[in-house]
C-alpha cells in the first residue's frame, strides 16, 4: 500500500515474491505426494526438497522434520506427547501455555529472560517429563538461554521442547548444538505462507501423534500434506539462509528507530534492551499514552504495529509477558511492539518515528493550549 508502513512482522511477515512463485507452480500442477503415478512422484520430490531446505535451516537431517499446520499445532503436538508433569516459562506463547494448562510456570527476570535458578528449583521439586522454553520471545524479541535450560533439564531427566517460531529465519539455529528434543517452526513469520510449520524431532524419538489417519509424515501428522504451503516454507528457508546480512540490516534500522525515540522522549522504555534480542523487534513505551490510543493513531497514519497481546489473541489485553517481567501494569499498557523484516526500509522507520513524535507532542500539550473550535 502506498504511504503505509508494515511494521508487524512478528504477527506475520509479507510473503517473499519468490515464495509466491514457487507456490504458484505447485498450485498449477495436480499431484498428491502419496500417489504412485508420475504426478504423485513429482509432488513427492517437491515435498522432500522442501523438507531438506527446512532441515538445513536448523541443521538437522531431513527425516527429523515433520510438517504441520503451523506453530500452534507443532507446540500442541510436542506438549501433548508429554505423559508426566510439564514446566514452561511464564513468557511462552499462548499455544504453549494453553496446551499445558497444568504446567508449572517459571518467571522471567526484568530483562525478559527465564530465571534459571527458579527453573532449577522447580525441576528438583516437580521432576517434570518436559520443559518448554521459547528461543525468542514474540513481544520483546528477547533470546532465551535455551542451551542452559537444556543443561539443567537433562540433569533432571526432562526432555526439552523449544518454540523457535519467532527465531526461525531470523537467527542462526543449530538444533543439535542446542540439544533440544523438539523444535517448533512456522513459515509465516519470515516470508513463507500462513498455515504451515514444522515440528522438528530429535533423531530416534518415536511418533505419538494426536491425530489419527494415514501414514503421512511418518505417522506423526496424518493427512494429505499442504504441498503449496510446504513448498513455500522450503523456499522461505532457502531465502533466509541466502540473505545472510538480513540481521545486520534490520538491526541497524531497529537501532536507529530506538535512538530516535530516545531523543524525542528519554523516558520511553525499551523492554529487554539489556538482553540479547532479535534484531527486528522493539517493544517500547510512549510514556502516559495507552497502547490503544497509539494503535489507532498509527493506523490512521498508515502504520501497522501491535501490542504483544494482540499478536496472539486478536484482542487487546494486558501482556502476560510484561507481567512476568514484573513491569507495572500502567507502564505495560503504554507499550507497543514494532517488528521489522525483509522488506523494511529506513522510510518505514522514519514514518513511524514521525508519527510517534507527533502523537507524543499532542498528548504532552497542556490542556490550556487547546483552543475552542
Q: How many CB atoms lie within 10 A of CB 274?
A: 13
Among 13, 55, 67, 70, indicate the residue that binds ligand PLP (CB under 6 A).
70
- Under rule CB under 6 A, residue 186 binds ligand PLP: yes
Site string for ligand PLP, 11-50 (x = CB under 6 A): ----------------------------------------
Active-site annotation holds for 311: yes
Site for ligand PLP in 229-268 (CB under 6 A): none
CB of 137 to ligand PLP, least distance (A): 7
How many whole angstroms separate alpha carbon 12 and alpha carbon 19? Answer: 15
**Which range binds ligand PLP by CB under 6 A, 160-168, 215-223, 229-237, 251-259?**
160-168
Among 82, 88, 114, 134, indicate the residue that binds ligand PLP (CB under 6 A).
134
**Which range binds ligand PLP by CB under 6 A, 26-34, 67-75, 200-208, 239-247?**
67-75
Torsion angle, CA of 161/242/197/71, rounded to 10 degrees? 50
Which residue lies nearer to ligand PLP by CB, 199 or 261?
A: 199
The residue whose Cβ lies closest to ligand PLP is 71
Query: Burial, 327: exposed, middle or buried (Cβ in 10 Å; 0-12, 13-18, 19+)?
Result: buried
77, 123 contact by CB (below 8 A): no
Q: Which residues pair with 337 in a beta bridge?
A: 283, 306
CB of 162 to ligand PLP, least distance (A): 10
- Under rule CB under 6 A, residue 312 binds ligand PLP: yes
- Under rule CB under 6 A, residue 144 binds ligand PLP: no
CB of 294 to ligand PLP, least distance (A): 20
Among 16, 93, 235, 351, indicate the residue that binds ligand PLP (CB under 6 A).
93
CB of 194 to ligand PLP, least distance (A): 7
Q: How far is CA 247 from CA 11, 14, 88, 171, 243, in A?
A: 18, 17, 28, 8, 9
- Under rule CB under 6 A, residue 311 binds ligand PLP: yes
Among 109, 122, 163, 181, indicate the residue that binds ligand PLP (CB under 6 A).
163
- Under rule CB under 6 A, residue 341 binds ligand PLP: no
CA angle 187, 245, 355 (to 5 degrees): 75
User: Out of 162, 237, 283, 311, which one is annotated catalytic?
Assistant: 311
- Under rule CB under 6 A, residue 85 binds ligand PLP: no
Which residue lies nearer to ligand PLP by CB, 167 or 286?
A: 167
Q: How many CB atoms lie within 10 A of CB 279?
A: 18
Which residue lies nearer to ligand PLP by CB, 104 or 167?
A: 167
- Under rule CB under 6 A, residue 71 binds ligand PLP: yes
Query: Burial, 318: exposed, middle or buried (Cβ in 10 Å; 0-12, 13-18, 19+)?
Result: middle
For 36, the grid coordinates are 504412485
Among 138, 250, 282, 307, indicate the residue that binds ligand PLP (CB under 6 A).
138
Interface ranges with ligand PLP (CB under 6 A):
70-72, 75, 93, 95, 134, 138, 163, 165-166, 186, 197, 311-312
Q: Which residues are catalytic?
A: 311
Amino acid at each position: 500500500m502506498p504511504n503505509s508502513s508494515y511494521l508487524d512482522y512478528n504477527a506475520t511477515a509479507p510473503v517473499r515474491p519468490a515464495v509466491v512463485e514457487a507456490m504458484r507452480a505447485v498450485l498449477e500442477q495436480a499431484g498428491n505426494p502419496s500417489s504412485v503415478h508420475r504426478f504423485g512422484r513429482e509432488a513427492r520430490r517437491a515435498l522432500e526438497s522442501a523438507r531438506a531446505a527446512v532441515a538445513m535451516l536448523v541443521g538437522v537431517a531431513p527425516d527429523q522434520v515433520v510438517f504441520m499446520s503451523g506453530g500452534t499445532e507443532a507446540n500442541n503436538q510436542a506438549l501433548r506427547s508429554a505423559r508426566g508433569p510439564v514446566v514452561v516459562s511464564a513468557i511462552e506463547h499462548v499455544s504453549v501455555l494453553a496446551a499445558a494448562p497444568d504446567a508449572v510456570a517459571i518467571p522471567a527476570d526484568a530483562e525478559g529472560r527465564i530465571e534459571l535458578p527458579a527453573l532449577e528449583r522447580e525441576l528438583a521439586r516437580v521432576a517434570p517429563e518436559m520443559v518448554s522454553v521459547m528461543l525468542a520471545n514474540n513481544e520483546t524479541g528477547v533470546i532465551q538461554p535455551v542451551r542452559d535450560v537444556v543443561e539443567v533439564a537433562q540433569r533432571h531427566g526432562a526432555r526439552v521442547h523449544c518454540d523457535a517460531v519467532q527465531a526461525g529465519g531470523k537467527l542462526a539455529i543449530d538444533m543439535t548444538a542446542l540439544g533440544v528434543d523438539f523444535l517448533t517452526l512456522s513459515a509465516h513469520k519470515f516470508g513463507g505462507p500462513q498455515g504451515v510449520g514444522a515440528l522438528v524431532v530429535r533423531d530416534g524419538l518415536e511418533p505419538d501423534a494426536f491425530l489419527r489417519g494415514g501414514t503421512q509424515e511418518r505417522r506423526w501428522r496424518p493427512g494429505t500434506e499442504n504441498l503449496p504451503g510446504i513448498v513455500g516454507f522450503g523456499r522461505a528457508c532457502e531465502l533466509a539462509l541466502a540473505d545472510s546480512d538480513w540481521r545486520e540490516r534490520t538491526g541497524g534500522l531497529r537501532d536507529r528507530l530506538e535512538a530516535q525515540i530516545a531523543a524525542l522522549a528519554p523516558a520511553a522504555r525499551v523492554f529487554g534492551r539489556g538482553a540479547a534480542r532479535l534484531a527486528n523487534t522493539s517493544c517500547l513505551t510512549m510514556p502516559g499514552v495507552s497502547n490503544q490510543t497509539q494503535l489507532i493513531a498509527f493506523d490512521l497514519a498508515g502504520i501497522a504495529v501491535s501490542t504483544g497481546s494482540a499478536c496472539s489473541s486478536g484482542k487487546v489485553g494486558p501482556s502476560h509477558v510484561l507481567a512476568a517481567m514484573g513491569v507495572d501494569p500502567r507502564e505495560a499498557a503504554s507499550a507497543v511492539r514494532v517488528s521489522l523484516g525483509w522488506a523494511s526500509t529506513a522510510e518505514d522507520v522514519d514514518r513511524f518515528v514521525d508519527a510517534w513524535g507527533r502523537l507524543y507532542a499532542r498528548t504532552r500539550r497542556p490542556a490550556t493550549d487547546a483552543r475552542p473550535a
